[in-house]
Every structure is written in structure tokens, then in C-alpha cells.
Chain A
Amino acid sequence: MPALFANDQLTTEYRFRGKDGAYRWVHDESRLLRDATGRPIEVVGSWVDVTARREAEVSLRAGEERLRLLVGSVRDYAIYMLDPDGHVRSWNAGAQHIKGYTEAEILGQHFSRFYTPEDVAGGRPAAALRATAAGGRFEEENWRVRKDGSRFWADVVMTAVRDDRGALVGFAKVTRDLTERKRAEQALRSYAAQLEVANKELEAFSYSVSHDLRTPLRSLDGFSQALLEDYHDRLDDTGRDFLQRVRAASQRMGTLIDDLLSLSRVTRGDLQVAAVDLSALAAAVATELKKSDPERAITFAIAPDLVARADAGLMRVVLQNLLGNAWKFTGRRPAAHVEVGVMAHDGRRAFFVRDDGAGFDMAYAAKLFGTFQRLHAAAEFPGSGIGLATVQRIIHRHGGQVWAEGAPDRGATFYFTL
């Protein structure tokens, strides 16, 4: 027993088993008393029950161990500690994975080696420590350097760690490698910039088409007309006919250019999507058509309450083209019928415009929506072959589909979804 005592003092903790069978922890402070000859004679001491404290310590250690294992095993985040001066005090697997240093290499090193030389020269590591100490927390995205010298785009969060009395004991750092995201963002920005340039070029091109291609046409038409007027008596009927053909061709090309421009305009600009009353729109277009030739015997049957979410301006262009076609291709019928309605198609609503006019051969259905494609001779039914191409572009911009059914002399039906 005396062997336990150093300088006749004993301070220790141990367990007792109580009468109820449960163990209690005690803190023992004891002193060995000796007689005049120095022989131990008795022990005087006190016990304090410290069972609660001992249990709390055990659970704290277990918690710390779990946390250490957790932090240690995280691979996607570098989680490590710095001392108040910025020297690395702990290191996890994620830190090794992201920055390339092993724990043995980096412990005790200054964290400024993770910064780029420019940032070190600019005093950014010291500034980060100051900002964190002052504000408690500091966050930034910036370039950092790996052990092999390569750079990565890092998201860094630094937190000041203080003791019970508020004294700074160090910093906790969490760093993520966002290089891939950064690269994807840069690629996206570069695509967007390229797209903008392409759009600008397209606009410049449209402008040039609108201005420069029309100018020579005015000369062709104007001087042909001047010849017809000023040299009328020196031209025979054939000569005058030729000049009329030149004029007609110039004017047709003028119309083509205008139609092409409106086709390209359809794909420019943002879609202004809102609830659109297609019934009202179709009725307005039908009224315009009837006004253009009040003599025509044609009836429009427009289903009520056809409402869709779409761009109203573009839907008007769609209906102008589809109803305009129906009007045109029923021109040889003594009495024509045009129907506007809706039906179910593959679980979606398909709107349709149906006429009982000239129709078309289904063998050519695929050609209908191509630019400049025409299924009828210009002499029979005039047109530039751009209307349905325009319709298709508008419907595709809305994420819908457009198709047609018909038979020669049995009418045509054009369907579209939105």
C-alpha cells in the first residue's frame, strides 16, 4: 500500500462496487501518516463521488472519436485546422485528395502555400486570417494551388475557433474543389457569347437582305416601267410582254424577300407566353379574309373557347397562314367550308384547321413545310412557299408539332399541338 503513495500523497480515481451492485467512481485524495521513526501508521483521506463526470468524459471522448472518424473519411471536402498564425494543425483524407499533400508533409506548414504566388504577393492569406478573426467567418471562391503546382477553383469557408474565454485558438477550414463547375460555367458563358455573336450576325444579315437585295429590284421594275412608258411606240406586243414579265418577276422577288425576312423574324426575339384565345384570334383573321373579298361564299365554323398558352403575336401569324391557305385553296369552290377546332391526339390537344378545297397528295405531305416548297403551280394558286415553313418554325418554338392530312380535291386538314 505505501508503494502507491508518492511523497506520502495519493490522488487517484477508481471504482467501487456499491451495496446495490452498481459501480461508483470516486476521486480519492489521501495522505499517509507516519510515526516518529517514519513507519506508516495510517491513511487519512476523502472520497468524492465523480461518477457523473466520468460518464460525461467517456461519452465526450466517444463523440470526439466519431467526429474524427467522420471528418477523416470525408473525401470531397478538405477539412483541416490552422493555428492562430496559419500553420496546419490537422489534415483529413479530403485535404490530401484535393491538395495532394499527405498529413506528414503538411502538418506545421503555413497555409499560404495553398495560395497562388500572385495572391501571396497580394497578402491575401494574412488578410483571410484577419477577416476570419474579426468576423468569425470568411468565405471566398478563388484559385488555389495543389502540391504539384496545378491550380483548382476552390470554395473556401474559414471559421475562427475560440476557447471558453474567447481567446483565438485557431481556424477551421473547409475547402471544396469547384474546378469542374467553374469550367462548365465558363463553357456555358462562352457558348452564350458565341450565340449572341451569331444572332448579331444574323440580324446584320437580315438587315442587309432587307435593304441591299431590294434595291436592284426597284431598278429592274422602275426602268422596265420607264421603257414601257417612254418607248411604248418603239416596242411591239412581244417586247412589251417581255418587260411586263421582268416587272412581275421583280415584284415576286420583292415579296419573296419580305416573306423570308418575316420567317427569320419569327425565330428572333423572346416568346411572350400567356393564355391566348385562339377562337377569337381565328375569328378576327376570318373577318379580315372576308373583307378582302366579300363576294366569296365561304363559311368559317370556329369552335368556341380554344385557349392555349402561347405567344399571341406568333399564334396570329400561324392562324393567318393556315386560314389564309384554306381561303386560297378553296378559291375554286362555289361554296367552301373552313373549320377550326380541337381534338385529342396522343394525350395532347391538337388544334386543327380543315378546309374542303384543292387538298394535296399525301405522297408529298413531307414537303409541305419546307421553305420555298410548293405543291401547286403559281398560276393556279399564288404563293411563295414560305407560309407553312413559318408555321412550322413557330410551332416548334412552342415545343409543339404540326402535320397535315389531305387528298387531291378532297380538302386538307392542318393539325398543331402546343
Chain B
Amino acid sequence: MHDRSILLVEDNPDDEALTRRALAKNNIQNEIVVARDGAEALDWLFGTGPHAGRAATPELVLLDLKLPKVDGLEVLRRIRANPSTRLLPVVILTSSREEKDVVTGYGLGANSYIRKPVDFGQFVEAVRQLGLYWLVLNEPPPRPDAA
């Protein structure tokens, strides 16, 4: 199945609430699915574990890097390695701007890398721009199950 949902991979409930708020403030009404660690995100995407048989393809993945169990870079690597999610837009949304993370993130095929600003006003603006770009302006890749 596929829908217009956004998969938010985020372990911090505060950051989840703030991201939901920033999306709502920008009138982005797509369903938000939250995965609280990397393993949960992969289960949801590939229909494994608790999500057996229900693989889902979201419109966009917002991916934190520092996650319990399976970290964000590994999630990204697995997304790019799987034919059904190979072209899925993935935006890294994280606290760190360590050059190593940025380089590795792009190297693994991230579509964007956004550092969450401390200033909530700036964060709302960042979410507005990425929502506008990835959910409105950008022509998404053809979905493998529709092709």
C-alpha cells in the first residue's frame, strides 16, 4: 500500500511534538507516522516484524541520525539497498552538523541534510521550505508498485 504519509523517524517525544507542530503550522496535513527507532522504521517500510505483510511507502522520510537500536545512517543504507524504497525521498533532520555525518549521509544517498535549529521560529521556516519542496514542488519518483 502507499499513501501520502510522512514517516518521521525520531526517538525524542519533544522533537516529535515540535516537528508535528511545525508541520501543522505550515498546513502540511499529510498523515504523520512516527517510528521511535531505526528498527521500527525498517519494519514499517519493509513490512517485517510487527508490521509483517503491511509494507508501506510514504511520500517522504524525515530521518534523525542518532537513534536507538539501528542508527539513522544504517536505516538510510537499507532504504537505498532495497528496490522498493531505493528512490524514496529521505531528508536527514538532525541535531548534528558534524562534517562526517553530512558527508556519510550524502554518500549513502540522502536527498537533503537539515540541521534542526534551536530557534523554533527558524525550525518552522525550515519545515515550511522542506514541505513546500518535497511535498509540493518536487515531482516524486514513480512508485515501484504502480509502475
Give the B-binding residues of A (Cβ under 8 A). 206-207, 210-212, 214-219, 221-226, 247, 250-251, 253-254
Contacts and interface: CB of A to CB of B under 8 A. Distances in A.
5 contacts: A207-B96, A218-B120, A222-B120, A247-B120, A251-B119
A210 B15 contact: no
B125 to A, nearest CB: 12
B12 interface: yes
Given A211-B66, A251-B118, A218 B123 contact: yes
B132 interface: no
A110 to B, nearest CB: 59
Given A207-B98, A223-B14, A214 B118 contact: yes
The winner among B18, B66, B98, B120 for most chain A CB atoms within 10 A is: B120
A222 B94 contact: no
Contacts of B116: 214, 218
B121 interface: yes
A215 B17 CA distance: 13
B97 interface: yes
Contact of B21 (A212, A222, A250): A222
B95 interface: yes
Interface string B94-133: 1111100000000000000000111111010000000000
A218 B121 contact: no
Which among A224, A247, A253 has the greatest number of chain B C-beta atoms within 10 A?
A: A247
Given A211-B66, A215-B12, A226-B21, A221 B118 contact: yes
A253 B118 CA distance: 9
A250 B97 contact: no
Contacts of A207: 96, 98
Contact of B18 (A212, A219, A254): A219
Contacts, number: 59
Interface of B: 12, 14-15, 18, 21, 65-66, 94-98, 116-121, 123
B61 to A, nearest CB: 19
Contact of B118 (A223, A226, A254): A254
B120 A210 contact: no
B14 A210 contact: no
Nearest to A265: B99
Contacts of A211: 65-66, 94-96
Nearest to A228: B120
Contacts of A226: 21, 120
Contacts of A215: 12, 14-15, 95
Nearest to A225: B120
A275 to B, nearest CB: 26
Contacts of B65: 211
B98 A218 contact: no
A216 B96 CA distance: 13
A222 B96 contact: no
Nearest to B14: A219
A63 B85 CA distance: 87
Contacts of B121: 225
Contacts of B119: 221, 247, 251, 254
Contacts of A206: 98
B62 to A, nearest CB: 15
A226 B19 CA distance: 12
B18 A218 contact: yes
B85 to A, nearest CB: 26
Given A218-B117, A222-B120, 11 more contacts: A210-B98, A211-B96, A217-B118, A218-B120, A219-B14, A222-B14, A223-B14, A225-B121, A247-B119, A253-B118, A254-B118
B119 to A, nearest CB: 5
Nearest to B22: A222
Given A210-B97, A211-B96, A218 B66 contact: no
Contacts of A212: 66, 95
Contacts of A254: 117-119
Contacts of B66: 211-212
A254 B14 CA distance: 17
Contacts of A216: 14
B12 A222 contact: no
Contacts of B15: 215, 218-219
Contacts of A247: 119-120
A206 B99 CA distance: 12
